[in-house]
Amino acid sequence: MCPKFALAMVLLCVSSALGQRPSDFEAKYGKPVISYLVSEHIWMTPDYSADGQVCRMRLYPRRLGSETDYLGSQLLFPELSQVLNEILPLQLRGSKKDGFGQTSLGGGTAWTTYEYENVSFSFISSYKLSPDVLEKAKTKVLTGPDPEGLPLRKKTPPSLDDFADSKNSQTEIVTIRWSHRPCTSEVKLQQ
């Protein structure tokens, strides 16, 4: 009786491993994330607002194809620029806001934000500082105009060159966020 029981257990384990269904994965890992292939090397994953409109998109490098593995971890700028202009044409962005194109650094990550009236783009990349960079920084003193005294930016319309500062960066992820559309996860957090 023991050998039959052992055989039954082995067959049960093998059949469950071979016969996994989408519902089995969803029960264990949750609903799948929907991604779209928006160009040869770029995937896009959207999030939606309560009324079903897209509120945020994340663009990131395509790593796998049906017949190819892509090893690059950065988004290629010419292809990225074309995708961004297709997804969000200039006329839908609104004017540039103050601080347009500023970069924040922290924890080995750089975020360059291009903020318009209707939408913002965050270009995210990683960096590694050499050990002597802090020593070099101590020897330099930065001077410049008082930030309080800087004039406000005039409302500048968007242009095809808006992301040119990120052309030579090694952007790994771009997040697009609509200004007046909170995502459903954000709506739940606010309540």
Three-class DSSP category at 163: coil
pTM above 0.85, yes or no: no
Q: Using one digit for the tens of pLDDT, what is the confidence trace for 106-155? A: 888 999 999 999 999 999 998 887 777 666 666 555 555 555 555 555 67
Longest dimension (CA), the chain: 88
- Provide the residue ranges of all domains of the chain, joining segments of one domain with +: 31-137+156-190
Place of tokens 């790593």: 63
Q: Using one digit for the tens of pLDDT, what is the confidence trace for 11-67? A: 555 545 566 888 888 888 888 888 999 998 999 999 999 999 999 999 999 877 677
Measured CA to CA in angstroms, residue 5 lies from 11, 15, 86, 134, 137 at distances of: 10, 15, 61, 66, 70
Separation between Cα atoms, residue 45 and residue 57, nearest integer Å = 6
